[in-house]
A and B are shown apart, each in its own frame.
Chain A
Amino acid sequence: MEAYQPPTERTRLAVAGARASVAATLGNQPRGDVIRNNLFAGLLLLSVLIALAGLVALLAQAFAEGASALGPNLITNPPSTIDTANAGFRPALIGSVMMIAFVILLIVPLGVGAAVYLEEYADRTRWWNRLIELNIQNLAAVPSIIYGILGLGFIVRGPLDLGFILIAGAITLALLVLPVVIIAGREAIRAVPPSIREGSLALGATRWQTTRRQVLPAAIPGVATGVILAISRALGETAPLLLVGATVFVTFDPTPLGDNGYSALPVQIFQYATRPQADFQTLAAAGIILMLVVLLAMNSVAIWLRNRYEQRW
């Protein structure tokens, strides 16, 4: 019936035939190997799927439990143990926003300063510079609750003696996320090619002028990404805040220096989550959705920044 076949189809068939015959002679791997190979690939895929399923289940669970409580009162109303239908996260949200503002004020100069020092000035053959490096890498992995102990023993009491105030919580969080900024900042600075520096130095600029006007502007997207990652870590961190005063069931708007208590979004979620009654569980889940939405927005900004301003040299 088919009198004519298009030459392209014939070529395709010929190629397929040739490929099959080559595979038949050369690709003759033992059957056991082939089966084992496929089985192994299946297992690997399964492990990826399990990890993804965990994430999906986590999000689905939060939505299933918390969807009924979603609404503007989450943002506008204070928490309550009596009127759970209208309870919200207002003081906790304000506390989180204030703390994040102070955290940014602290980590941007300190983190960028340390990153610039380590990348542009530090002599790596000196033991004290290597000590600083090792120390920052270790600090990045110190458990967050230990920072809580540091906050309690050093900032709230002890040498700084600030008391259980919001600023103490902010300083604790800033110290906790500082390594993130330093490590990201160093990578961003390292990505600026040496030729830029050499060109600037050859024109007679001093080292700091070179750093300030050439290296840092080029490294800004990377640094900003690191800062946003650090902030999102600080926003979700609960454990250290429990030790430095963010514990009470705060129903009023907190102030930076007020010593009558403050709260943060994750702490308030934790407060609700520890109460077994269904109403509080719903509120905790709604708070988690709120927190994840904020985090997702911040991370999207980070990715956008990275893609928009990333320079290819």
Chain B
Amino acid sequence: MEATSIGAGGGRQRPSLEAPSHRWGEKAIVGLLALCGVLSVLTTTAIVVSLIGPTISFFGEVSFKEFFSTGWFPTFEPPSFGVLDIVAGTINVALWGMVFAIPIGLGAAIYLSEYASRRVRRVVKPILEILAGIPTVAIGFFAASFLIPIVQDVWPGDFLGGAEKPFLAIAAGLGIGLMIVPIIASISEDAMTAVPSGLREGAYAMGATRAKVAVRVVFPAALSGIVASIVLATSRAVGETMIVVLAAGSSPDFTLNPVAAVQAITAFIATTATGDIAQGSVTYESVFAAGTVLFLMTLVMNVISIRLVRKYRQVYE
């Protein structure tokens, strides 16, 4: 009986913690916001869909064997679709860009994170941001009107065929290098700054010089971030259009020669898809097939770099 009376005493109606209304408005808003997020997935889907359709009908007319060979002349009669020519063009330009940008970008990152005073950093970092914000058409113009003549002047005579052409892969490469230096510098610097100062101090206490601390302690500890920055920069270099259109030319050539005029994948797409090419023709579809190759190349690199950035964030944050 005692127990029941206690039960009766506690048996008053408990206040409900449920919301008094269903809050349909709140739910509708969550739905709308989620839709905005889903839109990004739809964008990727739309990219894939718009690439895949014409690419499939392209391979209905051109064999894989022909596609993965050399000789890219889609507008010739008879046309030839050996994509390796323009893939080589892309690699050629991106390669010289990376040869320029990796040492410069990493040097700048180490300098900013390990050597520069607060004041210097406050001046240099915004300048690098300005460089990152320069539209690529301006860099392309710079590469074509400034870098090409300079390369022609300093190139030793007939070495590798001589540099007396209106377009040079290495000029486009240097322009691209200038474009991606800020990417490498800023992501690498982030990764190096994230290395705990305890590691540095330990090394200094052992008598290491600044150079040794930077190269043997900070650099290896930040490696995943540094590699991520390089991979992302490569992806940007491969996907860049205006610089290669203006400075590397539009003549497909299966070569890594820095003083050749080459056509990159992006340059092919930009110069071919602008004309009034008939929708449904093989030439039209070849634009999408080339786009698919480009998309897959950059997708692999982007995913690798996103994974690597996550890794260093997990370790030190």
Which positions in A face B, CB cutoff 8 Å? 29, 33-34, 36-37, 40-41, 43-48, 50-52, 54-55, 57-58, 61-62, 65, 109-114, 116-118, 121-122, 129, 131-132, 134-139, 141-150, 152-154, 157-158, 175, 178-179, 182, 206-208, 229, 232-233, 235-239, 242-243, 247, 266, 269-270, 273-274, 276, 281, 284-285, 288, 291-292, 295-296, 299
Contact = CB atoms under 8 A, between A and B. Distances in A.
A153 B269 CA distance: 13
Interface centre among B128, B214, B270 (most CB of A within 10 A): B270
B138 A247 contact: no
Contacts of B245: 270, 274
A274 B215 CA distance: 44
A206 B49 contact: no
Contacts of A284: 141
Contacts of B166: 276
Interface stretch (B8-16, B65-73, B104-112, B255-263): B104-112
B217 to A, nearest CB: 14
Contact of B33 (A40, A116, A292, A295): A116
28 contacts: A29-B209, A43-B107, A45-B115, A46-B107, A47-B105, A61-B145, A110-B39, A112-B36, A113-B32, A114-B40, A122-B34, A138-B299, A138-B302, A139-B40, A141-B232, A141-B235, A146-B239, A147-B47, A148-B273, A149-B47, A154-B50, A208-B25, A208-B30, A235-B135, A239-B241, A239-B270, A273-B144, A295-B135
A134 B306 CA distance: 8
B37 A114 contact: yes
Contacts of A144: 239, 241
A101 B182 CA distance: 29
A224 B166 CA distance: 43
Contacts of B83: none
Interface string B49-71: 11101100000000000000000
Q: Which A-B residue pairs are the 8 nearest by beta carbons?
A: A143-B239, A236-B135, A47-B107, A153-B50, A113-B36, A239-B241, A117-B33, A44-B111
Interface stretch (B74-82, B153-161, B190-198, B286-294): B286-294
Interface residues of B, number: 93
Given A52-B127, A236-B138, 17 more contacts: A36-B209, A40-B215, A50-B104, A51-B104, A52-B124, A54-B131, A113-B35, A131-B41, A146-B47, A146-B239, A147-B47, A157-B279, A208-B30, A229-B133, A237-B135, A273-B140, A276-B166
Contacts of A122: 34, 37
B236 interface: yes
A45 B117 CA distance: 12
Contact of A61 (B29, B104, B146): B146
Nearest to B130: A55
A54 B142 CA distance: 10
A135 B246 CA distance: 31
A281 B145 contact: yes
B273 A243 contact: yes
Contacts of B140: 270, 273
B317 to A, nearest CB: 13
Contacts, number: 273
B238 interface: yes
A48 B124 contact: yes
A7 B110 CA distance: 42
B273 A208 contact: no
Contacts of A131: 41
Contact of B34 (A36, A55, A117): A117
B212 A33 contact: yes
Contact of A132 (B38, B139, B238, B301): B38
B298 A44 contact: no
A51 B50 contact: no
B50 A149 contact: yes
A229 B303 CA distance: 24
B23 interface: yes
Contact of B50 (A117, A121, A150, A266): A150
Nearest to B38: A132
B37 A288 contact: no
Nearest to A47: B107
A148 B181 CA distance: 25
